Amino acid sequence: MTTADPALTRPRLIATGGLTAVRRNPLLVVLVVMVPVFQLTTGSFLDPANLSGIATDAATLAIVAVPLALLVISGYLDLSVGSTLALGGLVAGWLAGQHHQSPAIALLGALAAGAVVGAVNGFLCCHLGLSAFIVTLGMLTAVRGLAQQLFPLPLSGFGSGFAWIGGARVAGLAAPVVIAALVLVAGALFLALTPAGRHVFAIGVNREAAHLSGIHIRRTPFALFVATGVAAALAGAIKASVLDSAVAGTSGAGFELTVLTAVLLGGVALTGGTGSILGVLLGVLFLGGLQNGLTLLNVPTFWQQMAQGVALVAGAALAYAAPRTGR
């Protein structure tokens, strides 16, 4: 995608003008078709209980997808989030369960672990200039190994205080949903209203030109790596709290690809320089809705995975085939 998003200039937090919004986010159309189809076929898709279930499932996805999307827009990538999620959950659970620390301390411990992973990624990619693909692919394995070494046995029984992180209700909404909403809004505000948000796009489009414009081309992506690590660990703590368990070998396995799928479906280009938080939200909702609908229809897991994969490739093909408007 080389066409720009003029809304970037005059920031609009919510896309205005129906047609433009649809053209920029073709996923809107897909959602508009998907929701009634699932409602008609399952009969319970739109039940409040089910919707809240979708929202809770989608929340952890959204929390990681937002910083990851920013990272991809700036021209980088993080494949290690699944393992960081596991590490975050384990650290939080270990602090809360084994050491009877308060939920706040447990959460902070998880976030710190995520920040360290993110900082290592950021240092290697931004300061040493190594390929983000290779570095974070390595970290995907290395962090998983570290988690298994530190916590060889599954952890559970984190206590009622810790369960609050994933289970509390705020204004009728589950806490993870509220956190995800905050992350989404923060991401959108960051992109639209801060200089650094513009720098993210500039670095993603043309790193050399950004450097010659006097922008600190290492600082912002480094911060985004740290933010992505922190977000992954936060998602891990939430999952551990909801499930009251964390397993080094399996927690968050494959999560990195699901998040990346949501981000790419949301219109963020892997080449950097384009994307929006609204798109990411749609990508997350689409994936969450698809999984949930297919589960309600008793579609076997393997077929669900296939559907997810097909959706990603179809999305890419559509974006490629779509007429390039001369905007």
Partner 1 sequence: MTTTNLRVSGLTKSFGGVRALDGVDLTVPAGQVHALLGHNGAGKSTLIKCLGGAFPPDAGTIEIGGTTYTRLTPRESIAAGVAIIFQTLSVVDALTVAENIFLGQEWTRHGRVDRRAQEEVAAGLLERVAARCSPRDRVGDLPTGQRQLVEIAKALSRSASVLVLDEPTAALSGAETDALAERVEDLRAQGLAIVHVTHLLAEVERLADAVTVLRDGRVAHRTTVAGRTRRDLVAAIAGRPAEAVRGPRRTPTPPRLVVEGLRGPGFGPLGITVAEGERVGLFGLIGSGRTRVLETLYGRRRATAGTIRVGDRAVTPARPADALAAGIALVPADRRAQGLFPSLSAQDNALLPALRPLARHGVRALRAERRVFGALAAAVGLRPARPGLPAGAFSGGNQQKLVLGRWINEARHVDVLLLDEPTQGVDVGARQEIYRVVSALAEEQGTAVLFASSDPEEIVALADRCLIVARGRIVGELSGTELTEQSLLSAVHDPLPAEGAA
Which of these ranges, 2-10, 17-25, 53-61, 147-155, lies near partner 1 under the rule CB under 8 A? Answer: 2-10
SS3 for 230-270, per residue?
HHHHHHHHHHHHHHCEECCCCCCCCHHHHHHHHHHHCCCCC
Which of 141, 156, 194, 301 forms a contact with partner 1 (CB under 8 A)?
Answer: 194
User: Is 327 one of the binding residues for partner 1 (CB under 8 A)?
Assistant: yes
| Nearer to partner 1 among residue 169 and residue 327 (C-beta) | 327
User: Is 23 one of the binding residues for partner 1 (CB under 8 A)?
Assistant: no
Evaluate whether 112 touches 226 at the Cβ level (below 8 Å): no
Paired strand residues for 246: 155
Q: Shortest distance, CB of residue 7 to partner 1, whole angstroms?
A: 8
Site string for partner 1, 38-67 (x = CB under 8 A): ------------------------------
Q: Could you tell me which of 124, 99, 100, 96 has the C-alpha nearest to residue 110?
A: 96
Number of residues that bind partner 1 (CB under 8 A): 32
Site string for partner 1, 107-136 (x = CB under 8 A): ------------------------------
Q: Is 213 helix (H, G, I), strand (E, B) or coil?
A: coil
Evaluate whether 200 touches 224 at the Cβ level (below 8 Å): yes
Which of these ranges, 151-159, 163-171, 193-201, 275-283, lies near partner 1 under the rule CB under 8 A? Answer: 193-201
User: Is 322 one of the binding residues for partner 1 (CB under 8 A)?
Assistant: no
Q: How far is CA 22 from the centre of its chain?
A: 22
Which of these ranges, 142-150, 170-178, 188-196, 251-259, lies near partner 1 under the rule CB under 8 A? Answer: 188-196
Token pair belonging to 104: 């706040």
Phi/psi of residue 183, nearest 5 degrees = -65, -40
Element (H, E) at 49: helix 48-73
Other CB atoms within 10 Å distance of the CB of residue 124: 19
Q: Shortest distance, CB of residue 299 to partner 1, whole angstroms?
A: 39
Q: Shortest distance, CB of residue 227 to partner 1, whole angstroms?
A: 16
Which of these ranges, 8-16, 85-93, 160-168, 280-288, lies near partner 1 under the rule CB under 8 A? Answer: 8-16
Q: Shortest distance, CB of residue 273 to partner 1, whole angstroms?
A: 6
Which of 2, 16, 160, 298 forms a contact with partner 1 (CB under 8 A)?
Answer: 2
Q: Which 197-226 residues touch partner 1, going by CB under 8 A?
A: 197-199, 201-202, 205-206, 208-216
Q: Could you tell me which of 28, 32, 47, 81 has the C-alpha nearest to residue 228?
A: 81
| Nearer to partner 1 among residue 48 and residue 195 (C-beta) | 195
Evaluate whether 80 touches 145 at the Cβ level (below 8 Å): no
| Nearer to partner 1 among residue 112 and residue 192 (C-beta) | 192
For residues 266 and 280, give the distance between their C-alpha atoms in angstroms, rounded to a whole number. Answer: 4
Q: Which 268-287 residues touch partner 1, going by CB under 8 A?
A: 273-274
User: Is 227 one of the binding residues for partner 1 (CB under 8 A)?
Assistant: no
What does the angle CA 327 – CA 6 – CA 287 come to, to the nearest 5 degrees?
A: 100
Q: Shortest distance, CB of residue 216 to partner 1, whole angstroms?
A: 6
- Residue 152's identity, in one-letter code, is P
Rg (CA), the chain: 19
| Nearer to partner 1 among residue 9 and residue 160 (C-beta) | 9
Evaluate whether 280 touches 288 at the Cβ level (below 8 Å): no
Q: Which residue ranges make up the site for partner 1 (CB under 8 A)?
A: 1-4, 6, 8-11, 193-195, 197-199, 201-202, 205-206, 208-216, 273-274, 326-327
